[in-house]
Chains A and B, each alone.
Chain A
């Protein structure tokens, strides 16, 4: 067993023990969201942190997954376990198709194009009222069930969501350390150099884009089934930015960083109840501060800072 595996098992044990430490209730509900957001942040981090490609439209994939699952189960009476993979396949296929033209773009242009894509999806959720219920939302989405076990309480949902989230973490950890992960990092550092080494950079980028869309879609399906109600407001541009903030704050290319970012940004508003509407100011300020002062994110920035402080002190003694 290698170090990564031990780290992961420790993390998983810690997470799964949380419900025993809590008496349940409200905080448990928040932790369910931490799980969903972690999944989304990891999906985006694969694209942004590993492949170096920005997306400002991931809330759209999240929403598409949620709506496909929601509509198939609530309106057409499908089983959630069938709807979820179908939604993921549709979203993944769509992302694969959009991926080819969109990932040809770079930097600012890619950011704008993905943003446009996200907004088009958001407008579609709002306007296809017959299917999605429009701005007033879609209700009556069933909870997920295994046999007679229905995931209808916060505690049950906690275990449901986190088993998916932990699964995704394991998957991405393995991916990052595999041939694909190394190829991705090569593309990140220099696309030309990577291509010279025989990596099909274009296909690889599109595949990662599709994979991260699939992860977002699964998170969306789970979100729909735990909330049982969805409305377009949760899938707008602001949420794409929030996801970006999570990834940047945690640290680009760090899986546990994404968890840290997601946890921080999900818990923070709960502790800042008074500042309800104004949490967006805090996001903005945090984004700017991080890029300016800690561009490598919390997971790497804080140890760097400590090391620097210790060195300074050591220097004085010597």
Chain B
């Protein structure tokens, strides 16, 4: 085993890990505001990539214009999902919520298949394909885009939750929904906000990863589940712990695929998921350290 090769695995693991972290934070934001695990989370990731493609190909928009359009449309569909499926639910028991978000995810996936067919598509990289040498390993410019955008979003997230009124209100909802309602916070609005933020973040993740991994109508399932895995490692925090969870998952997966077998790559995430749920359901870092926003 050469050091260069190891470095290569770690570096490419970091960028997939960043994607998982973004999706995972989306899971946590909704979970903390509402107690719902949104099984449709992955579909917004898929919508981000596919809609970018739609705006690029059909509307002939340049990439810099297509991306915001795609984020806007996927965010709107996240909003619609909350309004049409989650809010009208008369008996919001956990099982009903699981079933309805699964139903929603199947519906979104099916409609996308109807719209775009079953082919996989590629989005052009944001800035060229010239590999960059880092130590003995090489990375693509897109990797840097991914890491940069992830950092930016996490910073923006932090700012929102700690320095704006609506972010603070959302944190209040996470601590105690009834108390938040009593001090005049519109809890239902916060629930809607949480869906907006997390579908926006999900779609960004889907867009920045699409140039590397290609995209298709069904990529949302796996990406969503791995994002959830990241969130579980991070103890459902919407901050640093989930980011670390995502990065750990990304690196382990990349090492596992390189050193053990690429066929079992996807199984690694689920084995970690089960182990964490069995042994440390409060997350790898425990409740005390993770911030539950």
Q: Are B277 and A113 in contact (CB under 8 A)?
A: yes
The complex places the Cα of A286 from the Cα of B118 at a distance, in Å, of 22
Pick the contact of A108: B37, B225, B271 (CB < 8 A).
B37
Residues from chain B with a CB closer than 8 A to the CB of A284 are 103-110
Q: Are A295 and B36 in contact (CB under 8 A)?
A: no
Contact status of A54 and B95, CB under 8 A, knowing A127-B264, A281-B111: yes
Residues from chain A with a CB closer than 8 A to the CB of B271 are 120
Q: Are A112 and B107 in contact (CB under 8 A)?
A: no
Chain A residue with the shortest CB-CB distance to B94:
A107
0 or 1 for each of B96-140: is its CB under 8 Å from A? (1 = yes): 111110111111111101100010000000000000000000000
The complex places the Cα of A263 from the Cα of B264 at a distance, in Å, of 36
Chain A CB count within 10 A is highest, among B31, B232, B267, B271, for B267
Q: Are A280 and B106 in contact (CB under 8 A)?
A: yes
Residues from chain B with a CB closer than 8 A to the CB of A54 are 94-95, 98
Contact status of A112 and B221, CB under 8 A, knowing A127-B263, A284-B107, A287-B102: no
Q: Are A120 and B37 in contact (CB under 8 A)?
A: no
Task: Give A299 Cβ to nearest chain B Cβ, in Å.
Answer: 17
Pick the contact of A291: B89, B111, B225, B261 (CB < 8 A).
B89
Answer yes or no: B179 CB below 8 A from chain A CBs: no
Q: Are B277 and A292 in contact (CB under 8 A)?
A: no
Q: Are A112 and B103 in contact (CB under 8 A)?
A: no
Main secondary structure of the interface of B (DSSP, over half): helix
Q: Are A113 and B273 in contact (CB under 8 A)?
A: yes
Answer yes or no: A64 CB below 8 A from chain B CBs: no
Q: Are B107 and A285 in contact (CB under 8 A)?
A: yes
Q: How many residues of A contact B (CB 8 A)?
A: 41
Give residues of chain A (90-116) contacting chain B, Cβ–Cβ below 8 Å. Answer: 101-102, 104-109, 111-113, 115-116
Residues from chain B with a CB closer than 8 A to the CB of A123 are 263-264, 266-267, 270
Answer yes or no: A288 CB below 8 A from chain B CBs: yes
Give residues of chain B (155-188) contacting chain A, Cβ–Cβ below 8 Å. Answer: none
Chain A residue with the shortest CB-CB distance to B39:
A111
Residues from chain A with a CB closer than 8 A to the CB of B263 are 123, 126-127
Residues from chain B with a CB closer than 8 A to the CB of A101 are 277-278
The complex places the Cα of A48 from the Cα of B114 at a distance, in Å, of 32
Answer yes or no: A52 CB below 8 A from chain B CBs: yes
The complex places the Cα of A278 from the Cα of B91 at a distance, in Å, of 29
Pick the contact of B110: A108, A126, A278, A291 (CB < 8 A).
A278
Residues from chain A with a CB closer than 8 A to the CB of B240 are none
Q: Are A285 and B267 in contact (CB under 8 A)?
A: no
Q: Would you mind naming 18 contact pairs between A and B with Cβ atoms under 8 Å apart?
A: A48-B95, A52-B95, A56-B98, A105-B277, A107-B94, A108-B37, A112-B228, A113-B274, A120-B271, A127-B261, A241-B102, A248-B99, A280-B110, A283-B106, A284-B104, A284-B109, A287-B100, A291-B100
Given contacts A112-B273, A116-B225, 18 further A-B contacts (CB under 8 A): A54-B94, A104-B278, A105-B277, A108-B31, A108-B36, A108-B37, A108-B94, A109-B37, A109-B281, A111-B98, A112-B37, A113-B277, A120-B267, A127-B267, A281-B110, A281-B114, A287-B103, A292-B88
Chain B interface residues toward A at CB < 8 A: 31, 36-37, 39, 85, 88-91, 94-100, 102-111, 113-114, 118, 221, 225, 228-229, 232, 261, 263-264, 266-267, 270-271, 273-274, 277-278, 281
Q: Which 9 A-B pairs have the closest CB atoms?
A: A284-B106, A287-B103, A107-B94, A281-B110, A284-B107, A108-B37, A288-B103, A116-B270, A101-B278
